Amino acid sequence: MNDSTSRASLFLMELMLSILFFSLSAVVCVQLFVKSHTLSRQSVKLNHAVIASESMAEAFYSSDGNLSSMQSVLEGSVHDQDTISMYFGEEFELIPAPGSDFDADKNEKICYVLTGKTVPLNDTGLIKLSISYTERASSEVIYSLNPELFPVHRSGLSENSAVSGDQSE
């Protein structure tokens, strides 16, 4: 009887160690899945931030730095003086601003804010648009971009002379 008890306790000990090993392996696997999900979500946020910021930069270039023209190109944007903003929901859907009385602080659906602020650069005539894509809850800047533009209409040059430049043969 003593020999069979010894074998049973040895088998029980081996079984407990196997369960412990598989439990630890399961914990490590769950941590890896959670980390991969977090990285995937961050990648999606960064990808959307880059696309939205580049769209705003292209609108800045195409409108020659005029924020009113940018607003007509960027649907759902809000513009005041030297700032243009766009608002996005949790799944990165555009939340259009319904009018001039739109208060983004009171809208609970807004999760991300894309803001462009124009900054004139000294006397050079260059205009810089400081673009930032932020997460509203944490105020964390996900992506920022700073395109610069020498507007054709402000320099007194026509578009043809600005493109062709001073070419002598």
pLDDT tens digits in sequence order for the chain, 169 residues long: 567 777 888 889 999 999 999 999 999 999 999 999 999 999 999 999 999 999 999 999 998 888 888 888 888 888 888 899 999 999 999 888 765 555 666 677 889 999 999 987 777 778 899 999 999 889 999 999 999 988 776 444 444 433 333 333 3
Cβ-contact 114, 108 below 8 angstroms: no
Please report which helix (H) or strand (E) contains residue 139, including its range.
Answer: none
d(CA 53, CA 10): 64
Question: pTM for the full model?
Answer: 0.72
The letter for the amino acid at 47 is N
d(CA 96, CA 150): 30
